[in-house]
Amino acid sequence: MKIALVTGATSGIGKAVAESLAEEGYNLIITGRRGELLNRVASNLESGGAKVLPLCFDVRSALEVKSNIGGLPAEWRNIDVLINNAGLAVGLNPINEGVVDDWERMIDTNVKGLLYVSRIVSNYMVQRRSGHIVNLCSIAGKETYMNGNVYCATKHAVAALTEGMRLDLLKYGIRVSQICPGAVETEFSEVRFKGDKEKAAKVYKGFEPLKAEDVAAAIMFMINCPQHVNINDMTIMPTAQANSTVFYKTPEDQ
Ligand code: NDP
Ligand code: 8X3
């Protein structure tokens, strides 16, 4: 049985990818901070026949990552696929009004958390000369939009790290990919707007956004390519979204 590790599997894209991987016969290590939710996701995956190891920790803590991922039982260390998904946007402010705590949450999660996890898992993969790392980047890793400053910077960093990882891990036969989605309707905007559901819902009004399952299907395509094929970078957008800021919405929702 193959093993996949998905960070941030309590909701959205991470949960959908974990479900797709389980359907394809993977055993799963899933992570997130919301323990109860994580256990519920684990039970659902197990009811479909997968073996699941739920690990509740914060990717921002190097110590917690080390004890959870560095301390994996031997039978869970042969990780074939790592989905570096845990991430978030917090706030949407011009740079001069930025909230330092929001900046730190984004940088610590999206960049440092991804690094802490990758440092350990890439070594498991190096030992076996095999593995596939898929990083959740974003259209915000290719473009910068007004007030998105720090979130965009973290995703530009993910893009640079994807390239760096691919270069460094090339000689071990480890595949490294990134996926860059446009608007996906998940808990993302609710987190960005700090629980303001109304503001969050408005983001996805007047057009058909991507669903987490659409992104999961694209990731599964990447993973299922033959061993000699690596998709470096995939951008996936709603048909009604041309770039990070241009949408074709019903007139009342413009
Ligand atoms: P969700 O908010 O639905 O899911 C985010 C996941 O990340 C949750 O499972 C959350 O779990 C986890 N997470 C967040 N912070 C931490 C942390 N410090 N430690 C551990 N886990 C954490 O959002 P999405 O599914 O949309 O986002 C997933 C990824 O996709 C992110 O990297 C995001 O930047 C990226 N993305 C999203 C897009 C979108 O439009 N939705 C578009 C492009 C990229 P918990 O809260 O339980 O810790
Ligand atoms: C999430 C998509 O455009 O809000 O990464 O940055 S966007």
Total domain count, the chain? 1
Q: Give me ligand 1 centre to Cα 30, in Å.
A: 13
Contact predicate 238/207, CB 8 Å: yes
For atom 4 of ligand 2, which residue has the closest CA? 183
Whole-structure pTM value: 0.99
Q: Name all residues whose Cβ lies below 6 A of ligand 1.
A: 8-14, 32-34, 37, 58-60, 85-88, 109, 113, 136, 138, 181, 183-184, 186-188, 191, 212
Degrees to nearest 5, angle at CA 246 with 201 and 250: 55
68 lines ligand 2 (CB under 6 A): no
244 lines ligand 2 (CB under 6 A): yes
Domain enclosing residue 244, as ranges: 3-253
140 lines ligand 2 (CB under 6 A): yes
Give 65's contacts (C-beta < 8 A, 6+ positions apart). 57, 59, 113, 116, 117, 120
For atom 3 of ligand 2, which residue has the closest CA? 244
CATH number at residue 67: 3.40.50.720
Sequential DSSP letters for the chain? --EEEESS-SSHHHHHHHHHHHHTT-EEEEEES-HHHHHHHHHHHHHTT--EEEEE--TT-HHHHHHHHTT--GGG---SEEEE----------GGG--HHHHHHHIIIIIIIHHHHHHHHHHHHHHHT--EEEEE--GGGT---TT-HHHHHHHHHHHHHHHHHHHHHGGGT-EEEEEEES-B-SSHHHHHTTT-HHHHHHHTTTS-PBPHHHHHHHHHHHHHS-TT----EEEE--TTBSSSS-B---GGG-
| C-alpha dist (Å) from residue 63 to 60, 117, 133, 154 | 9, 11, 22, 21
241 lines ligand 2 (CB under 6 A): no
- Residues carrying an active site annotation: 151
Per-residue pLDDT of the chain (254 residues; tens, 9 = 90+): 899 999 999 999 999 999 999 999 999 999 999 999 999 999 999 999 999 999 999 999 999 999 999 999 999 999 999 999 999 999 999 999 999 999 999 999 999 999 999 999 999 999 999 999 999 999 999 999 999 999 999 999 999 999 999 999 999 999 999 999 999 999 999 999 999 999 999 999 999 999 999 999 999 999 999 999 999 999 999 999 999 999 999 988 87
Nearest-atom index, ligand 1, CA of 210: 40
**Mutate which of 69, 107, 188 for ligand 1 pocket (most atoms within 8 A of beta carbon):** 188
Nearest-atom index, ligand 2, CA of 155: 5
